[in-house]
Amino acid sequence: REKEELAKFAIAPLIEELLPSLDHLEMAISSAKASNEAPALVTGVEMVYSQVRRIFADFGVVPVDADGKEFDPKTEECVAHEASDTIPENQVIKVMRAGYMCNGRLLRPASVVVSSGKKAVK
């Protein structure tokens, strides 16, 4: 059983080192889409991003599903609170940086913005 566990998580340090590169691919896609420049380049970067995500999934590495869900301190890190009249208190408004799990074990928590509830009336 120990060998099985070791094999299951042996890739985790490598994945942790690669996660910033995946973050940078996400930022490049967002930035390029916002500027509406070089659509062929955007398509190419999206293809690389998708391929890396697919390879991660094949090895049991999946993103933490946080967007629009109730804040879970076990898998998410709150980096900010934001008042909202439409989003209930303690619900994730935005994912700032994706979190990842490897075969059910947390590799990196998602960095999220959490609703603090209705805006104060002045």
Place of tokens 């380049």: 41
Percent of the residues in the chain that have a pLDDT greater than 90, as a whole number: 73
Question: How far apart are alpha carbons 15 and 62 in whole angstroms?
Answer: 11
* Predicted pLDDT of residue 120: 65
pLDDT in tens, 2-17: 888 888 888 899 999 9
Q: Which amino acid is at 87?
A: I
pLDDT in tens, 82-116: 999 899 999 999 999 999 999 999 999 999 999 99
Query: Of the candidates 109, 50, 59, which has an alpha carbon nearest to the alpha carbon of residue 79?
Result: 109
pLDDT in tens, 26-80: 999 999 888 887 888 889 999 999 999 999 999 999 999 999 999 999 999 999 9
Q: Which amino acid is at 122?
A: K
Give the dihedral of Cα atoms 32, 78, 51, 46; nearest 10 deg. Answer: -10
* Predicted pLDDT of residue 16: 94
Name the pTM for this structure.
0.85
Query: Of the candidates 30, 40, 10, which has an alpha carbon nearest to the alpha carbon of residue 98?
Result: 30
Find out whether 32 and 38 touch, Cβ atoms under 8 Å.
Answer: yes
Query: Of the candidates 68, 76, 63, which has an alpha carbon nearest to the alpha carbon of residue 112?
Result: 76
